[in-house]
Structure 1
């Protein structure tokens, strides 16, 4: 027994070395995990910016298309008001439908290209 009446318990050097090595290993594993988490967060942040930029492009293009389509509809309505007979109404209607179908197909293609480009940009690994 020691001076204050208790037995001294000493940790053997081998056990102490093994525990220190385990703690060092755990600390390194934690630091690696933390570094990976920070890299992942940065990558997600970067992707968010890319996705927002793509969404902005799509929104801008959609508004532009909406303006064109409304303008075309108003022009069509104005032409109908000035039509002289049913034959002219039918011709104007046919021209309007054909031009709108062509415009909508082109617009859908453009939006598809923008979406595809945005998806590719979002999928690229951050450098």
Structure 2
């Protein structure tokens, strides 16, 4: 049995793409301001905060890319495949981000104990 097609009008796809672009621009402005703010502060936790901000920005970019791919899915099977790939990559990235942040925190604690 053939998978039913997702009947999404082109106008709706265009509207969603524009909404994604606008949201991405707004988040870009937020991250620019947050990075400038983080760069102006120098505390022991600043590097970890900058790292967390970078990971958050990467996650948001991945989410926007995911939304773009999903809006062009032509059937439910393709949509589920796109969702599955996204979740798999997010879990992998989350594990890597946690590992890097843990290393950063441990390194900062080690350096602080030497002082």
Task: Give structure 2 stretches of 5+ with no counterpart.
Answer: 1-41
Q: Find runs of 4+ consecutive structure 1 residues off by over 6 angstroms.
A: none
**TM alignment of 1:70-109, pairs within 5 A:** 70-109=60-99
Within 1, Cα distance between the matches of 2:101 and 2:58? 15
Matched with 1:6 is none
TM-score w.r.t. length of structure 1:
0.56
Following the alignment from structure 2 to structure 1, what is the Cα–Cα distance between the partners of residues 59 and 50?
14
Matches within 5 A, 1:40-51: none
2-structure distance, mates of 1:104, 1:97 = 10
How well do the aligned residues superpose, as a CA RMSD in angstroms? 1.3
In structure 2, the residue corresponding to 1:52 is in which secondary structure? coil
Larger Cα-atom Rg: 1
1:52 matched residue in structure 2: 43
Question: Any stretches of 5+ residues in structure 1 without a counterpart?
Answer: 1-50
